[in-house]
Structure 1
Amino acid sequence: MQDKPQVRAAIYCRISLARIGDTVKVDEQELVCRRLAHAKGWAVSPEHVYVDNAVSAWKHTVRRKGWEAMLDAIRRGELDAIIVYHGDRLIRQPWDLEILLRLAQAGTLLASPTGERDLGNPDDQFVLRIEAAVAKREVDNTSRRMRAKFDRLAEQGISRLGGRGGRAYGFEPDGLRVRDTDAIVIREAAGRVLAGEPMGAIVRDLNQRGVTTVTGAPWTHGSLKKVLTKPRMAGLLSHNGTIVGPAAWPAILDRETWEAVCSVLAHKASAYDYASNARRYLLSGIARCGPCGQPLAVRLHSKGRQLTGYGCITPGCRKTHRAMHHLDEYVIGATLALLGDEEVRKRMQPVAADTGPLVAELHKVSARLEQTLAEFADDDDLGPDVLRLTVPRLKKRIAELRTQIAAAQVPTVLDGLWGINRDGWDGLGLHRQRAAVGALLRITIRPSRKRGPGFDPSTVELKPA
């Protein structure tokens, strides 16, 4: 009598987040499944263990890579059975079950410690569909209860913290007390944004200093922008994307500063053409060639820094080249001299536009929006029409005011640099140094008739910006 072939089984493990009740870790799930496979005499090869760690199965838009890989193996005919810790680890939505049933052949088994089903058997399919419908109802009920909870919290001026770091950046885990070390970083970053410094430069500086997000990850352009533009930073409560009033926690940034930061970041406004985060050298793109007028580029030399310099790379010209270490030192000296000149400071002091009326109107329109939402949200008779007509108009005006505030901002990278010495200069980031040089000087390099080592300052033309 021919031996029955051994069942080829897959193990599927998934956990979303412990805070919603999923407390059995995927490695523990796998151990339970392996014991079950051993008891049944089924074979599980290493490539047929599929894991989706910290992935929800509630939303059909969320990709489960382990789930998709397992389906591919079923399509290829590599599996006779699937083992799971519990059915809801595999299926939380009816469409998941239908996909699985469509791919499975008669005799394909689904096993867990609570029992076994044949995916090709109509009676088992009927039971599985009922279980999937019950799971979907549980998801919908949980979602409804959570939304109601967050609505009640919003009415009290409290919002959920969100994220996986256990707290909102800038605040303690209770969400109500400010964490001072974070607040210092937020205020510093906001000030640097309003001073015209590129976000990329700020992010790199924070990462180089070892400042991290709440999860311990390095900052990115997106994560820093998200933190700075959160209404929470201004002590405001946002519900469903709309500011609904003052929150129960203190502000880290005052309302005017926060609005200005949001406006600048939303429109990427910059008053200077040197605010590029792609530069690695002090004068590249700033110093220009005298004969052709084009910006000089860095020309590296394999034999060392002494031969690396700024040179013209324009076809038909290429007449200018200066050693980097000589030209940098010369320009730094001139820059520090100007930063110590009180007359230059008075002449370059920016005259900022008065944004007070714009900010005042912004507060007024925002308050009107908050009042409208609060007054008509529960009015079944007039509410839908009032909100449909009024809310878009108020939001449009808020967007217009933020655009005007951003345009009125007068960033200056020279704030805090007047009277700086060489030690202070060396402590600045490269982008801040480049910004200061570009704000103070127009640099033109003329061809030198002198050959050999040395530096001829007569070929360097420095004019006030």
Structure 2
Amino acid sequence: MKHAAILARVSTEDQVEGTSLETQVESCLAEAKRRGYIVLPSDIYREDGYSGALAIDKRPILHQLWEKYQNGEYDAIFVYRQDRLSRSLAVFAALRDEALKVRRCGTKGDGFIFVQGGFEDTPEGRLQSNILGSFAEYEREVIRIRTITGKKKVARQGKYAGGAQLFGYKWNRETQKWEIREDEAKIVRLIFNWYVYGDGKSGPMGMVRIAERLNQLGVPTPSQARGTRRGKDSTHWTDTTVRSILTHTAYVGTNYFWRGGGVAVTPEVVEKMKDAETDGWYEVEFPPIVDKLLWEKAQEKRAGSRGGFNRKRPKPLLAGRIRCGVCGAPYGDAYYNKGATLVFKCYGRTKLYHQDGSPRCTSPILYGEALTEEVKRRVIELLHRPEQLRQAIEEYVRTLERRKEELETLLLPVTEQLTKIQEKQRRLADAYIDGMLPPEEYNRRKMELQEQERAVKSRYEQYWPELDTLKKLEQSVEALKHAIAEEQFDALYQPHDSTVTEELAFAAVKDRTHLTVGFPQKTLTWEELLDRLQITLWVYQDRVEVRGIVPIEDIANLEYCWN
């Protein structure tokens, strides 16, 4: 008897037609039996979710079946209907005709046998087959238009229209709203904090370095977290993946639907599309994962507006924080006297900004180092005022909690891996006790698992002491919150050249017999402290306004102007 295979295909849009995979298989099995062909369970090929418009190289199951047919493993291929083979007339005709020619194995086969709408290898039969193929192609286009119209309506409403969901979010079908997936959101916040501030042990990290660190720590990629495969290498973090997270506007509260496949939602692209007349780009509100200040800091660093990565000298502390109050242009940094003197000057003074002949800005040029020291002095004075001190301590508490959350996020993969290894060790011991393993095999496997355990722990051992310290501080943090509420706290800020030491002292009294006292300490970079206070400078002819989340007295220009 002849040997045959069965090909069954269904895509999402085909499900409404009632041609399920099992329905097709049952019909094909009956037809193969009627014609005297043998079909084994391993000879049934199911294509679930593949569009009939795709070429054979884009359909791995069909491609595998075709290779076996060409090698002579099958004498025929049974298909429920022509459009199950392909909805493209060109692809269908090519497969149909090639299947009847001499195969790679040197013999002819019976080709494709269709349960419905059978094919005869005659001029009339090919004409009829081509007509049916044309109808299938037309039907596919109608289905595509209907599907697009429906998805577009859903996208305009801000609802989930199918496909991959953005890392950090999930669609709640019951509430019909987008929600944050906290396990993934922790990784998103971690990436932003590393990019802007660093990991607490070093300065800000670049995208490549962040990707390398995430891979070293075994943090799941977005594809691994969702159990999907997207891109050539979805099992490793890359700088491209990190960049797509750092630039996506959804993480600060606004996403855009129906923007076209593969179009990134970056600030630059969003700004460009606002001015373009395009069908789509529907604005959708998402719950923010990172605060706006942190997101804007990441965009400033990425765009290089605060100095970039190509500086020959260290970036000045105030670089990117100064704007002109006269013309609105940003202030840039420069070095006079052969690089000996740092100054800040308005870009509006340069010819580049006035090629149209408009007058140049006359705002003053400022001594960089003297102005920087004055800003530092005023910030330290600010932090010793009671109300501003309260805000600083509250931020300190949030910093501790955020760092603990970051560490727990990093250590989650190793905890899961260690749990799996310990479970394997338990099952191995049970098998040995039950006499299922000889001593030599047991010892060999035991040593392998112990080596795996040491390798996993070694990747994270640098974080264990810090996490233990933070856990010990948890009780102090709660007491510190209570002390803030009762105003039983004090703080001291010690400025250094590049850092500031923040020393807190607090007391919390629960009752006469319970007293909690704490003296936590933290070292901040000056940049991190100014970011925390959102310090910016606006320069006018007679003064420099220092703006932030708390008011700071203006600085007179005369002392810091370059003559």
TM-score scaled to structure 1, two decimals?
0.48
TM-score scaled to structure 2, two decimals?
0.41
> Which one scores higher on RCO, CA 8 angstroms, separation ≥ 6?
1
Structure with the bigger percentage of strand: 2
Larger Rg: 2
